[in-house]
Amino acid sequence: MDLAARLVSGRGNIMIRFNPVFILMAAASLCSSGAAQPVQGDLVLSKFEYLSTTTDIYTVTWPAPTLKTLYTRTWKPGPLLTAYGNRFVYYAHLDKVSSLGISTKVTSISDNVSDYELDQDGTLMACDLDHKKPCLLRISGTMVATFCTLSTVHRFLHPICRDGDTGNWVVGTGNGGLLRVDRVTGDVTTIHSRPGVGISGVDFLPRTGDFAVIRDGYPSKEIAVIDRTGTVLHSLTGLSLGCLTVNHRTGRIFAAGLKTVHEFSSDLNIVNTRTYPIGGSLAQFYYLDIWDDRNVSVTASGEPATRAQVDLCFFQSRSQPYVVALSLSQRPGIAFGPDNVLNLAPDLLFLITAGGALPWWTEGFAGTLSSDQGTAIASFTIPIGLPPGTCIHVGAVAVNPAFPDGLDVGNVACVQVQ
């Protein structure tokens, strides 16, 4: 019995009522192909400069030639990650910097932490660089605990991302391993291995299900796209790169190193390159992320019959209508334009949930964003009877004539059913 049948059969004789206003909006959509304050789509970058006493966080409305300084402070550089709700970035060990450049301490964590990623329950996962005890840490509020410890054969753990197809972790190691770590059990499987060549960057490509990685090498580093079986699909050498991120709406890969940022297509053709004056000869970009990649944020345990909360933040679409939908897959996504894709498959679950088509099970799946921050809250119940490991994907769009195709398209979050 498929998911839709499970939902309907478990609810008795329910008439599914579609919002006629949403149907008109959806039909039209599906037929259409402060000075330093970051906005949707901006890159957020941190700087490292050897022997310098300060570090900086920059933003840039790509591909503008000028950086804007979001925050400067005397501290060691560290990981950078757009936070839950899309209104902060997590930085260093461990602070939170707002879009207005206001810093707040979250908790204290080891300087060995090399990268962060968000779990579906709102906690942070972190990689530890300690080569004697490579491990993943789970950070919940101010509490820091070891999630799992890996073999020292991996040397250390550096980058981490979430596999958008399964909800599990994908981790790069200092010994050239690309590993999948089960988010519940901590069990490890190897996706790809090239011993002796460390991995310093990784992110998930939702349009294809592949992974973009940066592999250390001499005399230059390599950027590659590796599929789910571990096969290298594309690779490019000759560039000095140290970090990367993926724009989940456009499918573009951004990578940075030294003072240069590159934009790549998913097959690693260079689309744009910019070099920025960020300090002395020893300065380099250390981490980067994209400001809009958490504007659909989910908090969910994944346990059946529990409620999953969806926090929306579409700042540039304040007071505009929005719709939320669920799907069992991110592919094929719904392409409103070539660089404007909602990474939700238009399957049966999408059709019966888009805009709140299942009242009593979904709430707030259509409405109007707030006038101050462009926020809204939706929720849905994790269905009973789904096999553990099933993934429910959550996405949203705001209807805004100022955006391409009249739609402000959000990211897609993944909820793994327990």
Element housing 320 (H / E): none
Tell me, yes or no, whether 356 and 279 share the same domain. Answer: no
pLDDT digits (tens, 9 = 90+) for 229-243: 999 999 999 898 999
The mean pLDDT value for 21-27 works out to 35
Q: How many degrees, rounded to 5, is the angle at CA 154 between CA 149 and CA 158?
A: 80
Residue that wins the pLDDT comparison between 86 and 376 = 376
Classify residue 37: in a domain, yes or no: no
Could you give phi then psi for residue 288, rounded to 5 degrees? -150, 155
Q: Based on the structure, what is the number of domains in the chain?
A: 2
Strand intervals (E) in 86-209: 88-91, 95-98, 103-105, 113-118, 124-128, 135-140, 143-149, 157-162, 169-173, 177-181, 188-193, 199-205
Tell me, yes or no, whether 179 and 241 share the same domain. Answer: yes
Tell me, yes or no, whether 360 and 324 share the same domain. Answer: yes
Classify residue 309: in a domain, yes or no: yes
Tell me, yes or no, whether 300 and 278 share the same domain. Answer: no
pLDDT digits (tens, 9 = 90+) for 148-178: 999 999 988 999 999 999 999 999 999 999 9
The mean pLDDT value for 177-185 works out to 96
Tell me, yes or no, whether 302 and 279 share the same domain. Answer: no
CA separation for the pair 137, 343 (Å, rounded): 29
Classify residue 36: in a domain, yes or no: no
Domain assignment of residue 236, given as a range: 43-290
Local confidence band at 15 (pLDDT 50, 70, 90 cut-offs):
very low
CATH number at residue 87: 2.120.10.30
Residue 219 has a pLDDT of 57
Tell me, yes or no, whether 366 and 247 share the same domain. Answer: no
The mean pLDDT value for 37-59 works out to 89
Q: How do beta strands 334-337 and 340-342 pair? A: antiparallel
> In residues, how long is the chain?
418
Classify residue 377: in a domain, yes or no: yes
| Secondary structure class of 154 (helix, strand, coil) | helix
The mean pLDDT value for 206-228 works out to 90
Local confidence band at 342 (pLDDT 50, 70, 90 cut-offs):
very high
Q: What is the 3-state secondary structure (H, E, C) of 20-89?
A: HHHHHHHHHHHHCCCCCCCCCCCEEEEEEECCCCCEEEEEECCCCCCCEEEEEECCCCCCEEECHHHCEE
Tell me, yes or no, whether 190 and 274 share the same domain. Answer: yes
CA separation for the pair 173, 200 (Å, rounded): 8
Which residues touch 20 (CB under 8 Å, ≥6 apart)? none
Residue 112 has a pLDDT of 86
Classify residue 201: in a domain, yes or no: yes
Average pLDDT of the residues of the chain:
88
Classify residue 391: in a domain, yes or no: yes
pLDDT digits (tens, 9 = 90+) for 97-114: 999 999 999 998 888 899
Task: Kindly list the distances between the CA atom of residue 176 and the CA atoms of 198, 200, 284, in Å, as whole numbers in the listed order.
Answer: 4, 9, 23
Other Cβ atoms closer than 10 A to 102: 10
Whole-structure pTM value? 0.89
Classify residue 38: in a domain, yes or no: no
Classify residue 67: in a domain, yes or no: yes
Residue that wins the pLDDT comparison between 14 and 345 = 345
